[in-house]
Amino acid sequence: MSNTENTTPEKLNFLEEIIEASIKAGQNDIKTRFPPEPNGYLHIGHAKSICLNFGLAEKYNGKCNLRFDDTNPVKEDVEYVDSIQDDVRWLGFQWDSIHYASDYFDQLYEWACELIKKGKAYVDDQPQEEIRLTRGTVTEPGKESPFRNRTPEENLDLFQRMRAGEFKDGEKVLRAKIDMAHPNMLLRDPIMYRIIHTEHHRTGNKWCIYPMYDYAHGQSDSIEHITHSICTLEFDVHRPLYDWFIQALDIFPSHQYEFARLNLTHTVMSKRKLLQLVQDKLVMGWDDPRMPTITALRRRGYTPASIRAFADKVGVAKRDNIIDLGLLEFCVREDLNKTADRRMAVLDPIKVVITNYPDGKEEVIKCINNPEDETRGTRTVPFTKEVYIERDDFMEEPPKKYFRLSPGKEVRLRYAYLIKCEEVIKDASGKITELRCTYDPESKGGGSSDGRKVKGVIHWVPASHALKAEIRLFDRLFTIEDTSNMDEGKSFTDYLNPDSLKTVTGYIEPELGNAAIGEKFQFERLGYFCKDPDSTPDNPVFNRTVTLKDSWSKIAK
């Protein structure tokens, strides 16, 4: 992906600098992990994290694990576990090994007992609400629990009974015994375990106590010998606690590093909000092509290479920012320009009748599949007396410099003939129903009978051979750029773009009848399109991935 002709030394991002420093200091076995919670489908923000973690491991001959952070049985599901694996593979990465935080429940439990014996953890009977209220504030210390000074023996006994299911949800928690006056509120005796009598998607009913994120995450990293545990910025305040557990247990010293999460304009990027869109049927599902999920981008026609290129261009920042959706579109356009075959389709047709073309005659027109890639060769499109052109490629009263079709003017039908508009036919309402044209028989594929030059080239399909197709035209899902910046009292769903999906019936060239689901094309002059799984033999469906117009490239250079 990098430009090999470019000999200037590569600029490292801050994580690469950190890793290179660790390698210099003698750490050879670099290991990262991607740790999703299986409580929803992955989105483009996760894709950034995947590219980063797997990418760093690849670059430094290390390893990257996939680990499901499945410590909350209430919101998690196997459907998500499966989709996450699909998405990572589809993006082009292979994990070294796959793990579940739930695989470590026994080890985590043993370690919790160890901390209890060392006097570093205790069972608290206060309700969670009380614990929250007595944590203090940034300026005031918290209040110690009346149960804080239980003996290790009593704590061990209570903790074992918590595990054995003697108590109801919320009756007791296990807390780390750190410092109720610590300036970092997260270190004021954080909760390590809570009681949840809910079946877990992997461990069934074996457990009714579940570890909190802060206690599970770092220890899981340590078990797997993760050297660089990369997470998003909001976890920087958790780092001292991450280190505290590892030191208190004296286990493999994994370290945590934070980078800024990816935010994109005109969308939302939290699984909770995405789930709400799905559950409230505001979109067709997790893979609705307007969603920012990986599965949706894939259905829409994005390629793994385009998403990896996007992650690369975004880079790694240390401060939160919001990236223009136009950059993502730029990346897919660049990739598809090289890889997608060209086809012709007309989305809003007017019929053109070529009056001097013999009735019943049919020719084949040779069309180039991809001018960017000769090896893609050519195909043919039948040419007949009647063709469809795009309604907005004709203007009855054109302004100056209008090079498309207008009365008395000539235009080239792409790869075929020059035609000249002789007569405009309208219905009773004044709508144009047909254009009568003549053609220059000497102009096939280029040139003309007398050497005259014609500027305009438009796409077309043969009326009798074209297939009907359902074309889905997508636009941004939200009307505002920054969905975290809403007016007071508004919900993010108030900003859904009512015009984010427009469905039209178009005509496509016959060759497209053979397209496979997921196959991608450039419809000449219209954009990039991908065949949707909703297609049936009678009703092919194409999603517009992105238009051809490129509003980003000026800024991206």
Query: Which amino acids are annotated catalytic?
Result: 37, 261, 271
Judged on CB neighbours under 10 Å (0-12, 13-18, 19+), 420 is middle
Residue nearer to ligand ATP on the CB measure, 246 or 458: 246
| Total site size for ligand ATP, rule CB under 6 A | 15
Q: Which does 270 bind (CB under 5 to 8 A by kind): ligand ATP, Mg ion, none?
A: ligand ATP
Q: Nearest residue by C-beta to ligand ATP?
A: 45
Minimum gap (Å) between residue 181 Cβ and Mg ion: 29
User: Looking at beta carbons only, is 46 or 299 nearer to ligand ATP?
Assistant: 46
Window contacting Mg ion (CB under 5 A); options: 33-41, 226-234, 236-244, 342-350: 33-41
d(CA 278, CA 281): 5
Report H helices in 414-472: none
Rounded to whole angstroms, how far apart are CA atoms 88 and 96?
Answer: 12
Residue 261 near ligand ATP by CB under 6 A: yes
Q: Could you give the 3-state DSSP secondary structure of residue 365?
A: strand
CA–CA dist 202, 7 (Å, integer): 51
Q: Cβ(337)–Cβ(522) under 8 Å?
A: yes
Closest CA to 121 of 239, 244, 208: 244
Site stretch for Mg ion (CB under 5 A), options 34-42, 278-286, 406-414, 536-544: 34-42
Give the interface size with Mg ion as a residue count (CB under 5 A): 1
Nearest Cα to Cα of residue 354 among 443, 467, 456: 443
Here's the x/- map for ligand ATP, 50-69, by CB under 6 A: it reads as: -------------------x
Q: Which residues in 484-496 are b (16+ Cβ under 10 Å) and which e?
A: eeeeeeeebeebb
| Interaction mask 13-52, ligand ATP, x per CB under 6 A | ----------------------xxx-------xx-xx---
Between 34 and 460, name the residue whose CB sits nearer to ligand ATP: 34
3 state DSSP class of 505: strand
Q: Which does 262 bind (CB under 5 to 8 A by kind): Mg ion, ligand ATP, none?
A: ligand ATP
Nearer of residues 239 and 472 to Mg ion, judged by Cβ: 239
Residue 232 as a binder of ligand ATP (CB under 6 A): the answer is yes
Binding mask 263-282 for ligand ATP (x = CB under 6 A): ------xxx-----------
Residue 455 CA to residue 66 CA, distance in Å, equals 55
Residue 291: HSE in the Cβ half-sphere, 13 Å Cα cutoff: 26
Q: Which is nearer to ligand ATP, 232 or 479 (CB)?
A: 232
Amino acid at 143: K
AA identity, residue 426: K
Closest CB 269 distance from ligand ATP, rounded Å: 5
Q: How far is the CB of 37 from Mg ion (least distance, A)?
A: 5
Of 224, 213, 243, 215, residue with least CA distance to 116: 215
Q: Which of residues 505-534 bind ligand ATP (CB under 6 A)?
A: none
Integer CA distances (angstroms), 71 to 168, 195, 381, 527, in order = 18, 12, 57, 44
Q: Residue 367 CB, nearest distance to ligand ATP (Å)?
A: 42
Among 19, 51, 123, 231, binds ligand ATP (CB under 6 A): 231
d(CA 98, CA 68): 8
Residues that bind ligand ATP (CB under 6 A): 35-37, 45-46, 48-49, 69, 231-232, 261-262, 269-271
Residues that bind Mg ion (CB under 5 A): 37
